[in-house]
Amino acid sequence: MQVVRLAHETDFDGWRAAARRLRLAGVGPPDTLWTVDGQASLFAPSAVSEAGPEDGGAQTSTSAASFTAPRAFVDLAQRVVLHRSDERFALLYRLLWRLQDRPQLLQVASDPDVLLARQLSRDVDKAAHKMKAFVRFRGAYDDLGEAFVAWFEPAHRVAELTAPFFRTRFANTRWSILTPDVCVHWNLAELAFTPGADPADAPRADELEEFWKTYYASIFNPARLNTDAMTKEMPRRYWRNLPEAALIPELVANARSRTAEMVAKPATEPSRRVVKAAIRNSRDAPWEGLSATTLAEVAAGVDHCRRCDLWQDATQGVAGEGPGKARLMFVGEQPGDQEDLAGRPFVGPAGQVFDRAMAEAGVPRAETYVTNAVKHFKHVLRGKRRIHQTPTTREVGACRWWLDAERRIVRPRVIVAMGATAAHAVFGKVTPVSKVRGQALQLSDQAQAVVTYHPSYLLRLPDEDAKADAYAAFVHDLKLAWKLAA
Ligand code: URA
């Protein structure tokens, strides 16, 4: 029997080197015992087979002299190693061994080893997803000033896997995520990892917590309570570290009486237009039921929206803001870097151009409703910078659900579409800005529309004269829209 002692629980490199050695020496899975050295940590060098034959430790996947493992297997194995199952290293070695005779093995979905490995990999992905959703930072101070610290207990060992996500999302603050397995630290320049910690090492509460709880309680809709769906989305194992979870038992307990109170209130007649839209929505998207009927529901829905994949890389969904009955609605393209972090539309550089032009046109922003065609920030990472990417037609189409809800609720007299993406979303078809800019256009829902430039376009124009002309046209269009809305 060959006993392999791996250096730590996620020692993929150690497993790979040992697996290769054993495979080349013809030591089969039944003769191999995989253990983890309880004393070593992630920070120790990989330790491999106690009694295994040596071969110099080249990579499993690249050994020309002997065998290769497909890339898909290596990817799968890297996930599986993060699972808390004690079986994981033996399972992977069995699969590696069997792959030599059956290179297509991973495609045999009914094979018990393949099935199990895929299940473990899915569990790990799910744990990573939950970690991204449920880490709650609390304010703390150290010698360098304010930092944010979170305590989290992931279902599997996914702290390192998710670290780049948190680095991108919270690039501009110092933070640490403490877990029992490993702690992750971001100091504004690089990620660092230290050994696992104890809950007592993390701050227990901060002043933001009460705001967060108030917010959570206010978006909790008792009439929509579905405890099964809620616990599926927010499994109980995470509750003890979620401040808002303390409210759940009471909110659930009172849901029936609160719903009864809501039902007992005199009904208001929905307008025929709202009823028609609701029927259309429930037909077009029956999995979502009737769409939001208040802006608070839109905001909560946008943040949880999974109608396309853009939520995955964004900090949050950014719904529109402004009075619920604004006469004038502005639609931009999508939140930018700063909007994504702030959770509000048009607060970054494009927002400054917008604010300046609004002031020149005499349009009070506070009396208008400002939103975007797409509610999550689409971007690619270039170094540390998040570079804007134009949303696809499919993404704009998916997000129209929310823009339409905002239009139904706010019922503006005039909608200003800023840029091509906004025009596409407002009219439901490709609408070239150059052809229709600066005119009053009729929309099918009684509202009028004005199409104009996007403020970012004004920022990008290289030629100063062209920039001044476009800016003047933009101010003109804002004035026109305000006049039409009066
Ligand atoms: N650009 C947009 O289209 N919307 C914003 O909210 C910010 C920049």
Q: How far is CA 4 from the centre of its chain?
A: 39
Identify the pLDDT of residue 306: 84
Model pLDDT, residue 208: 63
Across residues 351-376, what is the average pLDDT?
96
Domain that holds residue 176: 135-201
Q: How far is the CA of 299 from the centre of ligand 1 (A)?
A: 16
Matching residue, tokens 């791996």 = 6
Contacting residues for 313 by C-beta, under 8 A, at least 6 apart: 168, 376, 377, 378, 379
Question: Same domain, yes or no, for 165 and 272?
Answer: no
* Residue pLDDT, tens place only, 1-53: 899 999 999 999 999 999 999 999 999 999 999 999 864 445 544 544 544 43
3-state secondary structure of 111: coil
Same domain, 173 and 77: no
The atom number, within ligand 1, closest to the CA of 370 reads 6
What residue has token string 């905002």? 406
What span, in angstroms and rounded, lies between the C-alpha atoms of 116 and 21?
Answer: 24
In the structure encoding, which two tokens stand for residue 326, read together?
Answer: 């604004």
Side-chain half-sphere CA neighbours of 233 within 13 A: 10
What share of the chain has pLDDT > 70, as a percent? 84
Q: How far is the CA of 331 from the centre of ligand 1 (A)?
A: 9
Question: Which of the two residues, 55 and 460, has the higher pLDDT score?
Answer: 460
- Ligand 1: residue of 376, 399, 454 to mutate (most ligand atoms within 8 A of CB) is 454
What is the tens place of the pLDDT at every residue in 440-462? 999 977 899 999 999 999 999 98
pLDDT band at 374 (very low <50, low <70, confident <90, very high): very high
Are both 337 and 456 inside the same structural domain? yes
Q: Are residues 331 and 290 in the same domain?
A: yes
Whether 114 and 225 map to the same domain: the answer is no
Rounded CA-CA distance 164/468 in Å is: 41
Tell me the longest C-alpha to C-alpha distance in the chain. Answer: 85
Q: Note the pLDDT of residue 62.
A: 38
Each residue's pLDDT tens digit, 423-432: 999 999 999 9
Mean pLDDT value across the chain: 85
Sheet with 369-372, edge to edge strand ranges: 369-372, 328-332, 414-418, 448-452, 441-442
Task: Give residue 346 CA to ligand 1 midpoint distance, Å.
Answer: 5
Of the residues 201, 223, 242, which one is the last residue of a structural domain?
Answer: 201
Ligand 1 midpoint to CA 232 (Å): 34
- Name the region of 54 (left: φ>0; alpha: ψ -120 to 50; beta: rest): beta
Instruction: Identify whether residues 236 and 293 lie together within a single domain.
Output: no
Q: What pLDDT score was predicted for residue 114?
A: 95
Q: Are the C-beta atoms of 227 and 255 separated by less than 8 Å?
A: no
How far apart are the two ends of the chain, measured CA to CA in Å? Answer: 85
Token pair of 405 as six digits: 């809800």
pTM, to two decimals = 0.49
% helix / strand / coil in the chain, to the nearest 5?
Answer: 50, 15, 35
According to DSSP, the residues that pair with 175 across neighbouring strands are: 148, 186
pLDDT of 211 above 90: no
Q: Specify whether 251 is located in the same domain as 372.
A: no
Cα torsion 87, 90, 96, 101: sign: negative
The percent of residues in the chain predicted with pLDDT above 90, rounded, is 57
pLDDT at 154 over 70: yes
Q: What is the CATH number of the domain that holds 374?
A: 3.40.470.10
pLDDT in the model for residue 303: 82
Residue in the structure block whose two tokens are 């910078």: 385
Q: Helix 295-304 to helix 208-219 angle, to the nearest 10 degrees?
A: 110
* Distance of alpha carbon 423 from alpha carbon 413, whole angstroms: 16
The Cβ of residue 393 has, within 10 Å, a number of other Cβ atoms equal to 10
Mutation pick for ligand 1 pocket among 316, 321, 330, 333 (CB with most ligand atoms within 8 Å): 333
3-class secondary-structure state, position 404: helix
350 lines ligand 1 (CB under 6 A): yes
- Between these two residues, 138 and 105, which has the higher pLDDT value? 105
List 195's β-bridge partners, or say none. 182
Tell me, using a 6 A CB cutoff, whether residue 421 lines ligand 1: no
271-325 confidence digits (pLDDT tens): 565 555 555 544 444 334 345 778 888 888 888 888 899 998 899 999 999 999 9
Here the tokens at position 107 are 């495609």
Comparing CA positions, the residue from 164, 198, 159, 126 lying closest to residue 10 is 159
Residue 262 tokens, joined: 């809501």
Nearest to 169 by CA among 305, 303, 312: 312
Q: Work out the pLDDT band at 56, boundaries 50, 70, 90.
A: very low
Is the distance from the beta carbon of residue 340 to the nearest atom of ligand 1 less than 6 Å? no
- Calculate the CA 225 to chain-centre distance: 23
What tokens appear for 361 in the block?
Answer: 């046109």
- What is the pLDDT at residue 266? 65
Per the structure, the count of domains in the chain is 4
| Tens of pLDDT, residues 64-83 | 346 688 899 999 999 999 99
* Whether residue 75 is found in the same domain as residue 212: no
SS3 at position 325: coil
Q: Say yes or no: CB of residue 97 within 6 Å of ligand 1.
A: no
Neighbours of 373 (CB within 10 A): 25
Residues 182 and 298 in one domain: no
C-alpha–C-alpha distance, residues 7 and 21, integer Å: 16
Ranges 5-14, 136-145, 205-214, 261-270, most confident: 5-14
Residues 396 and 381 in one domain: yes
26 and 99 both lie in a single domain:
yes
Tell me the pLDDT tens digit for each residue of 229-249: 767 777 777 777 777 777 777
Last residue of a domain, one of 201, 216, 233: 201
371 pocket-lining for ligand 1 (C-beta < 6 Å): no
Residues present in the chain in total? 486
The per-residue pLDDT for 202 is 77
pLDDT at 156 exceeding the cut of 80: yes
Q: What is the pLDDT of residue 51?
A: 42
Looking at the structure, tell me whether residues 319 and 184 fall in a common domain.
no
Torsion (CA) 330, 334, 335, 336 in degrees, nearest 10: -120
Comparing C-alpha atoms, which of 104, 102, 78, 103 is closest to residue 92? 78
Residues 6+ apart with CB under 8 A from 125: 79
Within 183-247, residue ranges assigned H as helices are 208-219, 227-233
Instruction: State the pLDDT confidence band at 190, using cuts at 50, 70 and 90.
Output: very high
pLDDT tens by residue, 386-443: 999 999 999 999 999 899 999 989 999 999 999 999 999 999 999 999 999 999 999 9
Ligand 1 site, residue 317, Cβ cutoff 6 A: no
Mean pLDDT to the nearest integer, 90-114: 93
426, 445 contact by CB (below 8 A) = no
Given 201, 220, 239, the domain boundary residue is: 201
